[in-house]
Amino acid sequence: MKWHEMRVEEVEERINSDLENGLNDEEVIKRIEQFGPNELKEAEKQNVLLLFLEQFKDFMVVVLLAATLISGLLGEYIDAIAIMAIVLINGLLGFFQERKAEKSLHALKELSAPQVTVLRNGEWKKVPSREVAVGDVVKFSSGDRIGADMRIVKSSSLEIEESALTGESLPVVKKESPIVGDNISIGDQENMAFMGTVVTRGSGVGVVVATGMHTAMGQIADLLQSSETIITPLQRRLEQLGKILIVVALILTFLVVAIGVLQGHDIYTMFLAGVSLAVAAIPEGLPAIVTIALSLGVTRMIKQKSIVRKLPAVETLGCASVICSDKTGTLTQNKMSVTNIWSSGKVWKVSGVGYEPKGDFILENKEMNPNNEKPLQQLLTFGLLCNNANIVKKNGHYVLDGDPTEGALTVAAMKAGLTREGLLSQFKLVKEFPFDSERKMMTVIVEDKQGKAFAITKGAPDVVMDVSNSILWDGRKETFTPKFKDEVQGAVYQFASDALRNIAIAFKPLENNNVSQFEAEKDLTLIGIQGMIDPPRPEVQAAVKECKAAGIKTVMITGDHVVTAKAIALQLGILPFGGKVLDGKALSNMTDDELEEIVDDVYVYARVSPQHKLKIVKALQRKGHIVAMTGDGVNDAPAIKASDIGIAMGITGTDVAKEASSLVLLDDNFATIKSAIKEGRNIYENIRKFIRYLLASNVGEILVMLFAMLMGLPLPLVAIQILWVNLVTDGLPAMALGLDQPEDDVMKRKPRNPKEGVFARGLWWKIISRGFLIGIVTLIAFVIVYNQNPDNLPYAQTVAFATLVMAQLIHVFDCRSEKSIFHRNPFENMYLVVAVLSSVLLMLIVIYYPPLQTIFHTVYLDPKEWLLILGLASLPTFLLVGSLFTRKQKENMV
């Protein structure tokens, strides 16, 4: 169908849509049933069976299975079946772990899926992109990603970048009129908007003509599929480390077997024990547990209102040393109300907060009727005309539909009894040049009843003053002399010092209504200023303080006036004594080197444009900082991408900003960034905790065997016991450590150096020393009991087994703290308590339940033996208390 050749009405009729009211819900359901949901088909998922089998592809597991087969053939059925069962359970555990990791990653993708604004039953609403149907009427504006193929029915300075489809990176100017001709390529269909392309400027409305795989993008979708999974730097490092550990474990195991055989042990028993030891000691499960810890952390972060879009960001979060935050909406509430209005040297105060259009106008402490104040009325009228925000009453509450700055102007005008409908009966809107953060103004062209055209501009006072050559003073148009300029600047300064955000309003009569933006926005007549409050978010001050304690600097970046920005930065504790405030102009005039020189002293950047953000990020990064940068608009995307942690706003953010980001704030709130950083630090620490636990346990397991062989002793543990320890004692508590709460001082430490390895800050020492001690005490327990009952080897082996298990289970509580076991309440982490108690219980069952005794080669232990076991098992943890809090760790505190 050649939609681009048709007139809009023709498209509406063909597709059976209604441009006035949109589709109704039943129709949408019917159409989605007919054409399918609006989504591109995903690449084939990995087969579940294959995923399960993958758990067994590990070399040592294969060897173990072969060994089991041999023992089965030799008639050791019980051993063979038990080992098989344990390997199977291990595989199942790995399988479920991976499935869980995959599922939570998928859920994340769903959460960050784009939304589309559609007209349904006469009302605009946001729906997930997949619920868009053919015939839906869709609204989009700068920064949105187009959700389906559409014929454009309305456009206002609309430009769309279609490189995803055509490869052409320059945006295309879009229009509504039909395009006729032969072989019109996609790039030339200027009245169409295609799925996957991005609105870079202006706004528009379109009617959907194709969805899902029927779109132009759908036809090339196969080419776009990539199933690549991103792994984090830590995971990569662990993978490399894993390889080294495998070699070390294999060498040690080989030594155990070789020495054992030389000492006269039975080859077959040694072989089985060796292979089991290798399986147990190789930390093959580490990467999977790391993924789970990361994804569980990510789930917790969602509860705290931040969505991680790129997994590696979780790690980088813990390294962040500077947060560059937008002001409006992130540090402040973005709930604006006009409180002060200036015109012709007079200041009116406006009472009433929020969006309820009720309030009084007060001049010199006296209530005034705004209709008697000519300049005030004009200012309010033009403020409402050059404006797209509406205030609507929903369930008894006044709510804003549109931009808060514009909403404040609308409410102020409504307080004086003006309404948009009333004004539109006197003025016709001809054209709009939308607001953008670069120009910092917006203009509309209107025509009055007599057909006279005007340009009305509103914007940042300094910008509007620059394009004005006259001022309306007491109803007369005066030349904008330095004296008048001083008057206006004085008023702006006064308002800004009270932390008000200011909008200047100006106008000019036009000869005709067909003018360019440049023409419209020059030689204007300034009417006055409206100043609005935007209160700080109550939780931000404490969050800034907490970040400071954590060695993280907060920097405010705003398009607002220097004085306004400074006033708010002071209120929030962002600007310290002696801290610098830099404005956009000064920033533009600086070279990169000059900025780098002072960047550490600057806390507020005001009147900046989005492209300045990139310069700031780069200067900070050159100074060695790890930078988190927030943003919402299309122009923020490069800075978001370049920063170490790009953060997009969930509510006000555009699709483009979200796609460039690695973290999305669901509530646009600065305090959420702080929580995310805290969580990021905690996740990393938890990963260190279970690495420490698992590796120390492995070291202990290998050493007890190695030392016994060197000393010419019998085997202290049999194969199945080693496998059991690996599965139950190591696995369960390690997972619970991944869910541990942060230590109290997690936000009192300096940010982590991104170059530091996982084992930095004394972790190696802890692993080796604890592992060594666990091995030694197990051996001592074995030797003592074996010497007492030299004829009862299984008895000594059972004691060794119990000592090893208990030593590890006590040690796990030590792993929760960087300092010592006494710094934390063991009952804080109930998952861990339950994991440890279950491990103890399972061990008791294995020891005391006769049918399992046969399988696990255990025997009934005399209760008095437990004194010895528990006494020795607690030594590795308690012997070294106090030696841990090294000087290095003290240096790490802020």
Catalytic residues: 326
Comparison of 391 and 872: residue with beta carbon closer to ligand ATP: 391
Per rule CB under 6 A, is residue 559 in the interface with ligand ATP?
yes
Contacts of 39 (CB under 8 A, 6+ apart): 129, 130, 212
- Using alpha carbons, select from 617, 616, 660 the residue that is nearest to residue 637: 660
Closest approach of ligand ATP to the CB of residue 161, in Å: 21
Among 95-103, 350-358, 558-566, 757-765, the segment contacting ligand ATP (CB under 6 A): 558-566
First to last CA, the chain: 66
Whether 713 contacts 75, CB under 8 Å: no
Whether 148 contacts 210, CB under 8 Å: yes
Among 320-328, 350-358, 506-514, 844-852, the segment contacting ligand ATP (CB under 6 A): 320-328
- Using alpha carbons, select from 331, 371, 338, 369 the residue that is nearest to residue 355: 338
User: What phi, psi does 127 have (nearest 5°)?
Assistant: -130, 155
| CA–CA dist 209, 199 (Å, integer) | 18
Per rule CB under 6 A, is residue 501 in the interface with ligand ATP?
yes
Out of 166, 437, 494, 513, which residue is the one contacting ligand ATP (CB under 6 A)?
437
Comparison of 218 and 383: residue with beta carbon closer to ligand ATP: 383
Closest approach of ligand ATP to the CB of residue 597, in Å: 24
| CA–CA dist 264, 349 (Å, integer) | 98
Among 28-36, 282-290, 399-407, 662-670, the segment contacting ligand ATP (CB under 6 A): 399-407
Q: What is the largest CA-CA distance in the chain?
A: 116
Q: How many CB atoms lie within 10 A of CB 203?
A: 18
3-class secondary structure per residue, 755-805: CCCCCCCCHHHHHHHHHHHHHHHHHHHHHHHHHHCCCCHHHHHHHHHHHHH
Among 170-178, 370-378, 432-440, 736-744, the segment contacting ligand ATP (CB under 6 A): 432-440
- Using alpha carbons, select from 401, 433, 400 the residue that is nearest to residue 142: 433
Residue in the block written with tokens 């009617």: 207
Comparison of 271 and 435: residue with beta carbon closer to ligand ATP: 435
Q: What is the CA radius of gyration of the chain?
A: 35
| CA–CA dist 419, 407 (Å, integer) | 13
Closest approach of ligand ATP to the CB of residue 331, in Å: 8
Per rule CB under 6 A, is residue 403 in the interface with ligand ATP?
yes
Closest approach of ligand ATP to the CB of residue 252, in Å: 58
Comparison of 406 and 701: residue with beta carbon closer to ligand ATP: 406
Amino acid, res. 578: G
| CA–CA dist 151, 216 (Å, integer) | 13
Closest approach of ligand ATP to the CB of residue 460, in Å: 4
The 3-state DSSP class for residue 350 equals strand
- Using alpha carbons, select from 673, 599, 669, 608 the residue that is nearest to residue 635: 608
| CA–CA dist 716, 202 (Å, integer) | 76
Per rule CB under 6 A, is residue 201 in the interface with ligand ATP?
no
Closest approach of ligand ATP to the CB of residue 668, in Å: 10
Among 127-135, 496-504, 748-756, 868-876, the segment contacting ligand ATP (CB under 6 A): 496-504
Per rule CB under 6 A, is residue 328 in the interface with ligand ATP?
yes
Residue in the block written with tokens 């799925």: 195
Per rule CB under 6 A, is residue 143 in the interface with ligand ATP?
no
Out of 560, 679, 743, 818, which residue is the one contacting ligand ATP (CB under 6 A)?
560
Q: How far is CA 254 from CA 12, 259, 282, 754, in A?
A: 77, 8, 13, 37
Out of 326, 373, 655, 685, which residue is the one contacting ligand ATP (CB under 6 A)?
326
Out of 309, 327, 615, 770, which residue is the one contacting ligand ATP (CB under 6 A)?
327
Out of 38, 343, 530, 558, which residue is the one contacting ligand ATP (CB under 6 A)?
558
Residue in the block written with tokens 């607690």: 874
* Six-digit token string for 797: 């082996």
Per rule CB under 6 A, is residue 440 in the interface with ligand ATP?
yes
User: Binding pattern to ligand ATP, positions 443-482, x when CB under 6 A?
Assistant: ---------------xxx----------------------
Alpha helices in 39-150 (DSSP H): 48-54, 59-73, 77-111
Closest approach of ligand ATP to the CB of residue 584, in Å: 10
Closest approach of ligand ATP to the CB of residue 350, in Å: 17
Burial of 54-69, coded b for 16+ CB within 10 Å and e otherwise, reads ebbebebbeebbebbe
Per rule CB under 6 A, is residue 191 in the interface with ligand ATP?
no
Closest approach of ligand ATP to the CB of residue 203, in Å: 13
Q: How many residues does the chain have?
A: 894
Sites for ligand ATP among residues 234-253 (CB under 6 A): none
Closest approach of ligand ATP to the CB of residue 202, in Å: 14
Comparison of 269 and 609: residue with beta carbon closer to ligand ATP: 609
Comparison of 326 and 685: residue with beta carbon closer to ligand ATP: 326
Comparison of 146 and 409: residue with beta carbon closer to ligand ATP: 409
Whether 306 contacts 666, CB under 8 Å: yes
Comparison of 387 and 769: residue with beta carbon closer to ligand ATP: 387
Per rule CB under 6 A, is residue 335 in the interface with ligand ATP?
no
Comparison of 561 and 824: residue with beta carbon closer to ligand ATP: 561
Per rule CB under 6 A, is residue 442 in the interface with ligand ATP?
yes
Cβ-proximal residue to ligand ATP, closest one: 559
Q: How far is CA 280 from CA 137, 236, 273, 719, in A?
A: 61, 22, 10, 10
Closest approach of ligand ATP to the CB of residue 529, in Å: 10
Whether 359 contacts 350, CB under 8 Å: yes
Per rule CB under 6 A, is residue 520 in the interface with ligand ATP?
no
* Six-digit token string for 685: 């620490």
| CA–CA dist 626, 553 (Å, integer) | 11
* Six-digit token string for 134: 């053919």
Per rule CB under 6 A, is residue 521 in the interface with ligand ATP?
no
Sites for ligand ATP among residues 678-697 (CB under 6 A): none
- Give the β-pairing of 322-326 and 553-557: parallel
Closest approach of ligand ATP to the CB of residue 541, in Å: 17
Per rule CB under 6 A, is residue 575 in the interface with ligand ATP?
no
Sign of CA dihedral 468, 472, 473, 476: positive
Comparison of 536 and 714: residue with beta carbon closer to ligand ATP: 536
Out of 80, 134, 320, 503, which residue is the one contacting ligand ATP (CB under 6 A)?
503
Q: How far is CA 363 from CA 348, 350, 418, in A?
A: 5, 9, 19
Out of 405, 654, 662, 769, which residue is the one contacting ligand ATP (CB under 6 A)?
405
The 3-state DSSP class for residue 336 equals coil
Sign of CA dihedral 125, 129, 135, 140: positive
Closest approach of ligand ATP to the CB of residue 136, in Å: 27
Size of the site for ligand ATP (CB under 6 A): 22
Out of 348, 355, 361, 435, which residue is the one contacting ligand ATP (CB under 6 A)?
435
For 364: left if phi > 0, alpha if psi spans -120 to 50, otherwise beta; the answer is left
Residue in the block written with tokens 């990510």: 298
Out of 406, 432, 685, 740, which residue is the one contacting ligand ATP (CB under 6 A)?
406
Among 81-89, 141-149, 215-223, 553-561, the segment contacting ligand ATP (CB under 6 A): 553-561
Among 36-44, 390-398, 434-442, 820-828, the segment contacting ligand ATP (CB under 6 A): 434-442
Which residues form the interface with ligand ATP (CB under 6 A)? Answer: 326-329, 403, 405-406, 435, 437, 440-442, 458-460, 501-503, 558-561
